[in-house]
Structure formats: structure tokens, C-alpha cells
């Protein structure tokens, strides 16, 4: 497939550079990201500009030669530009066309492949396509200028007023004081030995995020748990239960929300009293109003979580989103490797990248190694995280 690009946007972009040579210093598009017709022209402009020379018909003719110049109408390029102030827009359109072409090329390669699985790597071709296509989402034609002075002024003003940025609050006051809540782009690991209460803790954290939302006022976390409610716009939870069914997951949520003994939920008809039924009904109604997505598939890859989360963020952009994964070691590896530690390291890094790319907190539960039980001091450390040393490197918070 021959890449066509946005030909008109390219002409306007190049016309702007001809009219205002200083713009060549702002070029963020690579020549290879242009149509074939314009690649050589942009490459010549960049080279001439790097030498500090004027970019005009004469210097371009010297660089490109007569035959190449005969194919280009520089006068048309310059005359078609309504204003050089639109340069950034034209460059953005050029980059957008290139990204669309690259995704189309990847899709065609996937569809034309003879097998669903790449024999050399063992990867599913759909997963490869999703992972490679995602990289184009964060690319921009040129980096925006960083306002250092403005950023520092805002930080100073926050400090003077006693304000502190709060992420999504959990409802555990001491934990929220230590962490300032779960911030956007953070990768949080909650680790413990089996049957200690990781899932119960994660469900309570999710409930806190849904109820309390993001903190915003300078008073911090006050008694009564109301801090942050004023600035909260609501939250959407993405829960991935790889160890139990969605019904079991919801049963535990009902038990926590209704403060009902989980043993009674095994046979409500025989074991519930009137108060239990009232709390059960209230919990079911309350949970039914939450904005939740629950996936209970036992085999999920990070690329699938990424795609699902991105889809729901696009559908509900006004809400704060968060992801809970129960638990990290049960995720399918992105690529099959002989070394389990390498697989977990790749999963860990992919979750951190997802948190940053989608700007959401990702809370992943993790197992601890048995070594912690054989010590006199059973307080776990970072080295006790199971199966990979990369977990402690990628995580922003390890609880």
C-alpha cells in the first residue's frame, strides 16, 4: 500500500515555511511522514534551515535539481496559504493522516497474514495489532512549549493556600493522608499472601472511589469523609476479576456494602433476619446505580484491558475512571517467554504505560512470595513481591 497522506495540508504546511522561514525550526513532522511527492522538499528545507540559510526557490533548486523542482509548484503553495498562523493546524492534519495510514497498514498486514498466531513469537496477531496501533495515539506533530514559570507559580500558590492535589479517595483516612488518594496515571500494587483480604480491600477501595470521587479542596481529609466531594464529578470503575465470577464478585460487594455476614449470603432464605433483608435490598439498589464495568474472564491481556478502558473513557469523558485488577499474576502474558519473570515484567510495564497513556489510576493486586512467612519479622518488603523485580520499579505505590 502506497501512503497518500493529506496532500492539501502538506502543501499548506510547506507554503507556510516558504513564507516564514523561521517556522522550519518548529517542524515536528518527519519527511517520511509526508507523501512521496513532498518528502524530498521537506528534507531539503530542514537541511537548508539547519545551515541558517534562506529557504527560497534558488536554494531549493540547488539542493533538489531541475527535474525535481519541475514537479513542484512553489508559487501555488505560497499563494494557497491564508495565514502562516495556521501552521500548527496544517502540521497536525499531516500527522493525523500519517497515523491513519499506519494503522490501516497494520490492519491490512494482520488480515493478510496466513495464521492467527505469529509462529515465531507465539503472539496472537490481533493482540500485536492492538499494541502497535496504540502507540500512534500519543504521537503529536510537535511538543507543546512548556510553561515553566506558569507551572511554578501555580505550585507556589497551591503551597501558600495550603492546598494539596488529591486523587481518587479510598475512604481509608490514614491511607489517604499518606498517599493523597490514587492520582491519575499512577500504577498502584496491593500485595499480600493468599486469603488475607486483598480482594475485600480492593472492593472497599473501589467503593471509596465511586462514593468520594476526587478530592479538590485545601482542607484535606476531614472527619466524616466529606473532603473532595465538592470537586468530584463522579467515577467509573473498571473491575477485572480473573479469580472469581462476576456473581461472586458482586456478592462480595453486597456483603461489604450491606455489612452482611458473607456466610449468611450462602443461604439468605434460612439465615437472613428482617434487618439482613433490609440491608441486602439497600445494597443491591445502591450497587445497581453505580457506574461499573466488571470483566470476569479468566484469561485477559493488558491490550484488551487498554482497549476496553479507552472505549469507556471515550463514552463517559466527564467521569473519573479507575481500573482494578484481581490479580496481576493471572493476566495473560503479552508474549510467550521461557522466563516467567520476563513475562511478569512485561505485564507490569504495560500496566504502567496504560495508566500514563489513559491518565487513570490502575490498582493491581499481587501475590507475595512464601519467604515472608518463614521470617520472624513477617512485615513484607518490596523484595517479597512475587515473580518479578520489575513490579517495585514500575509501581508508584506498593501497599
Find out whether 356 and 185 touch, Cβ atoms under 8 Å. yes
From CA 188, how far away is CA 39, in angstroms rounded? Answer: 44
Indicate if the pLDDT at residue 192 is higher than 90: no
pLDDT at 33: 86
Q: What CATH architecture is 7-134?
A: Orthogonal Bundle (1.10)
Q: Is 243 a catalytic residue?
A: yes
From CA 395, how far away is CA 22, in angstroms rounded? Answer: 43
Catalytic residue of the set 102, 132, 243, 290: 243
* Omega of the bond leading into 327 within 30 degrees of 0 (cis): yes
Q: How confident is the model at residue 229 (pLDDT cuts 50, 70, 90)?
A: very low
Mean pLDDT of 311-328: 89
Least reliable range by pLDDT among 160-164, 256-260, 309-313, 321-325: 160-164
Q: What is the percent of the chain with per-residue pLDDT over 70, rounded to a whole number?
A: 85
- Secondary structure of residue 52 in the 3-state scheme: coil
pLDDT tens digit sequence for 131-184? 666 666 555 544 556 678 888 888 888 888 877 778 888 888 898 888 888 988
Q: Which residues contact 285 (CB under 8 A, 6 or more apart)?
A: none
Least reliable range by pLDDT among 127-131, 210-214, 219-223: 219-223
pLDDT tens digit sequence for 25-45? 878 888 888 888 888 899 899
Whose CA is closest to 164, among 209, 218, 226?
218
Indicate if the pLDDT at residue 216 is higher than 80: no
pLDDT tens digit sequence for 248-290? 888 888 888 888 888 888 888 888 888 889 888 888 888 888 8
pLDDT at 321: 93
Q: What is the pTM of this model?
A: 0.61
Q: What is the CATH number of domain 164-244+296-398?
A: 3.40.50.300
Average pLDDT, the chain: 80
Domain ranges of the chain: 7-134, 164-244+296-398
Q: Residue 60: what are its φ and ψ, rounded to 5°?
A: -70, -40
Pairing of strands 292-295, 235-241: parallel
HSE at residue 160, side-chain half, CA atoms within 13 A, is 6
Q: What is the percent of the chain with per-residue pLDDT over 90, rounded to a whole number?
A: 7
Find out whether 108 and 96 touch, Cβ atoms under 8 Å. no
pLDDT tens digit sequence for 292-304? 888 888 778 887 8
Amino acid at each position: 500500500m502506497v501512503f497518500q497522506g493529506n496532500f492539501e495540508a502538506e502543501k499548506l504546511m510547506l507554503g507556510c515555511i516558504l513564507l516564514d522561514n523561521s517556522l522550519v525550526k518548529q517542524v515536528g513532522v518527519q519527511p517520511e511522514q509526508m507523501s512521496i511527492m513532498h518528502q524530498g522538499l521537506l528534507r531539503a528545507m530542514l537541511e537548508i534551515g539547519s545551515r541558517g540559510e534562506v529557504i527560497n526557490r534558488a536554494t531549493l533548486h540547488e539542493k533538489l535539481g531541475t527535474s525535481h523542482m519541475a514537479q513542484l509548484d512553489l508559487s501555488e503553495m505560497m499563494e494557497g496559504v491564508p495565514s502562516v498562523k495556521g501552521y500548527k493546524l496544517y502540521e497536525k492534519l499531516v500527522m493525523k493522516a500519517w497515523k491513519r495510514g499506519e494503522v490501516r497498514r497494520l490492519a491490512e498486514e494482520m488480515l493478510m497474514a496466513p495464521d492467527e498466531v505469529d509462529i515465531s513469537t507465539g503472539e496472537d496477531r490481533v493482540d500485536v495489532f492492538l499494541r502497535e496501533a496504540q502507540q500512534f495515539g500519543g504521537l503529536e506533530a510537535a511538543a507543546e512549549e512548556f510553561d515553566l514559570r506558569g507551572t511554578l507559580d501555580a505550585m507556589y500558590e497551591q503551597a501558600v493556600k495550603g492546598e494539596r492535589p488529591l486523587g481518587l479517595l479510598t475512604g481509608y483516612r490514614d491511607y489517604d493522608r499518606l498517599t493523597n488518594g490514587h492520582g491519575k496515571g499512577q500504577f498502584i500494587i496491593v500485595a499480600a499472601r493468599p486469603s488475607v483480604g486483598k480482594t475485600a480491600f480492593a472492593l472497599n477501595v473501589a467503593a471509596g472511589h465511586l462514593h468520594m470521587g476526587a478530592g479538590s479542596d485545601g482542607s484535606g481529609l476531614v472527619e466524616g469523609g466529606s473532603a473532595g466531594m465538592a470537586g468530584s464529578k463522579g467515577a467509573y470503575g473498571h473491575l477485572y476479576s480473573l479469580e472469581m465470577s462476576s456473581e461472586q464478585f458482586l456478592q462480595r460487594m453486597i456483603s461489604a456494602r450491606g455489612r452482611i455476614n458473607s456466610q449468611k449470603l450462602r443461604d439468605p432464605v434460612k439465615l437472613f433476619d428482617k434487618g439482613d433483608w433490609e440491608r441486602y435490598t439497600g445494597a443491591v439498589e445502591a450497587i445497581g446505580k453505580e457506574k461499573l464495568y466488571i470483566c470476569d474472564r479468566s484469561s485477559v491481556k493488558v491490550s484488551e484491558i487498554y482497549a476496553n478502558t479507552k472505549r469507556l473513557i471515550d463514552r463517559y469523558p466527564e467521569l473519573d475512571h479507575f481500573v482494578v485488577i484481581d490479580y496481576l499474576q493471572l493476566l495473560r502474558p503479552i508474549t510467550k517467554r521461557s522466563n516467567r519473570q520476563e513475562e511478569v515484567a512485561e505485564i507490569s510495564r504495560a500496566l504502567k504505560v496504560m495508566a500514563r497513556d489513559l491518565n487513570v489510576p490502575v490498582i493491581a493486586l499481587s501475590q507475595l512470595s512464601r519467604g515472608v512467612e518463614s521470617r520472624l519479622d513477617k512485615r513484607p518488603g518490596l523484595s517479597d513481591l512475587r515473580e518479578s523485580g520489575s513490579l517495585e520499579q514500575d509501581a508508584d505505590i506498593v501497599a
